[in-house]
Structure 1
Amino acid sequence: MADIVFQPTFVHQEFVDGPDGDRVRAAEPNGFNARFGAIESDLRQLSTVVGQIDAAVDRRGTGPADHVLTLAPMLQGAAGGTLPWRITPSGAAQFGQDEDAYGLMEVALPDNVRLTSFRVMGQVGVNVVGLAVLLSRVKIPGGTPEVLAGISGATDPFDSSADVDPSLAVTQTATYRYIVQASVINSGTSVTLAAFQIAYTSS
């Protein structure tokens, strides 16, 4: 896009008082007609430039925008599952050694946006076994969760991302609920999940 420029043309020339000074005139290069005509021309040009700026702002606002939603892992237990995660005063989800844990949480997402990635952060010992964190959708009023993105593994600190399945990436909040599920089997060490992040693109 070309630069938007406003270049004024009117330059005020001081009137001079006194017997040898200027006389008020309508015509001539220094008369009021010429001066006000130059000001009027500048105002028209300024109006055009303002319109160009407004159009440029509108065009910039219509393109895709990237967003990141950060969530505290407020994981709740579920019927038939293993022991629930403990929520610390800082809002992290934590579990101790030699135990199994399971939890899930609802995620409120905007409608008709494209999910791009799922990220999980925390502290996980190297001996952890069976850690899995899934971003899924469930058809309303009920059904089997469809996994959009899944993360597993063990590093300390734990910071891992996964791309969302492109075929399931566009949100449909009138048709699906969105959940995060986190489970760990016989951790052998403490596990702390500090935050979840969901990246998405809106048009």
Structure 2
Amino acid sequence: MANINNIKELSLEQREELLGLLKARFEKNMNRHKGLEWVKVQTKLEENIEKLWSLNEMESTGGEPDVVGYDKGGDEYIFYDCSTESPKGRRSVCYDREALESRKKNKPENNAVDMAAAMGIELLTEEQYRTLQKLENFDMKTSSWVQTPSDIRDVGGALFCDYRYGHVFVYHNGAESYYAARGFRGSLRV
């Protein structure tokens, strides 16, 4: 829901429900954010209502966002999608709008770059994806689009990652491709 000033905002009830869910996930997965305290995270979230809205978008599409770090320089908590597999509500999408528009037949409903922008998040980079995989094993049956360097994108390609055989793999595909088992993971700084 958006208010008249076009600021994306959750109702008080939605905020409380989301904060409770995020707190429970934070406490259950302390290995993802050693040394961080929920009280400080919650204070930051309550000061940044639009970011809370974005976290709700991550949650509602199956991302299971959680804190994975803290940037002291920017005084920001870093959230990534921590669902075991690529978020279910963000699969079967091609990479970006250009790829979507290039398809003549069987177009997917959406694309990863536009969906992330609409949610107020960013696709993980390859480096962020590798960092996430150091916390736990993710995408053992699915794969996730990651930010693609312009020199690869300019010639029609896009990158995606997954975890198989005890290793993180980075692959390429035509940006217009889409699969039921490929979605994208996002990051958000609060």
TM over 0.5: no
Is the strand fraction higher in 1 or 2?
Answer: 1
Q: TM-score, normalised by structure 1?
A: 0.25
Asked which structure has the greater RCO (Cα within 8 Å, sep 6+), the reply is: 1
Is the helix fraction higher in 1 or 2?
Answer: 2
Larger Rg: 1
